[in-house]
With several copies, the nearest count.
Chain A
Amino acid sequence: MKILYFAWLRERLDRGEEEVSPPSDVKTVADLIGWLRAGDPVADLAMQRPEIIRAAIDAKIVPHSALIAGARIVALFPPMTGG
């Protein structure tokens, strides 16, 4: 599964994407964020307020409760500031 990071989340992690293989008990976006934080102090700090992180699975915005099974690309990013 590929993870994309954008904006200050990308900067704080110092990477725009990475390939990950979470274990089978990581079922939702919330689980995925928790698992990423647990494995990396930099990620733990960057996502210390997970409630402000938005997520998309395969280019569709989803809530943190969304299941990641079958996802090819999960994107994590701060609130958007378009327009």
Chain B
Amino acid sequence: MAIRIITETFDPGAELNAFMAETAGAGAVATFTGLVRSDPVDPITTLTLECYPELAVSQIGAIEAEAVARFGLMRATVIHRYGTLRPGEPIVQVMTLASHRQAAFDGAQFLMDYLKTDAPFWKKEAAPGGERWVEHSAGDDRAKARWR
């Protein structure tokens, strides 16, 4: 298990390769990479993530431990950035290692669903017309609820 809460950017492919360097006989790796999205019709200039790092480490640590136990993962890594990011930059990456593909996929989806609602980050979009805080999504609450 590993958690990295960072401000600098990261290299998604290099992270995947580093994660896979120790596969220990396991056969399935699921990766999710979240990028700063920008609607061509309504573009943003930057996305700023505010973070409470101490709480992020404890919350993500708990989420990872639950994912590992629940899906029998052999390993899981979460990388999450904060600070000011531009469109196309990676925000988050989760990687899971399991013997079989369903466990790897389920673990990665579980981690993402919980990060969306339970990890102490707050997103603010800056666009030519001004700034706005991204609102908490009811859809994200529903996505998390399916794991109960």
A and B touch in the complex (CB under 8 A): yes
Complex CA distance for A61 and B57, rounded to whole angstroms? 12
Q: Which of B10-18, B38-46, B69-77, B112-120 contacts A (4 or more CB under 8 A)?
A: B112-120
Structural contact, A59 and B58, CB atoms closer than 8 A: yes
Complex CA distance for A70 and B52, rounded to whole angstroms? 21
Q: In the complex, what residue of chain B is closest to A11 when comparing beta carbons?
A: B133
Interface residues on B, range: 20 to 34
Q: Is B127 an interface residue when CB atoms closer than 8 A count as contact?
A: no
Q: Is A75 an interface residue when CB atoms closer than 8 A count as contact?
A: yes
A22 to chain B, nearest CB (A): 21
Structural contact, B112 and A83, CB atoms closer than 8 A: yes
Residue numbers of A with Cβ under 8 A of B are 4, 6-8, 10, 56, 59-61, 75, 77-83
28 contacts between A and B (CB under 8 A): A4-B52, A6-B52, A6-B122, A7-B50, A7-B122, A8-B122, A56-B120, A59-B52, A59-B54, A59-B57, A60-B55, A75-B120, A78-B133, A79-B117, A80-B136, A81-B122, A81-B134, A81-B137, A82-B92, A82-B116, A82-B119, A82-B120, A82-B121, A83-B91, A83-B92, A83-B112, A83-B121, A83-B140
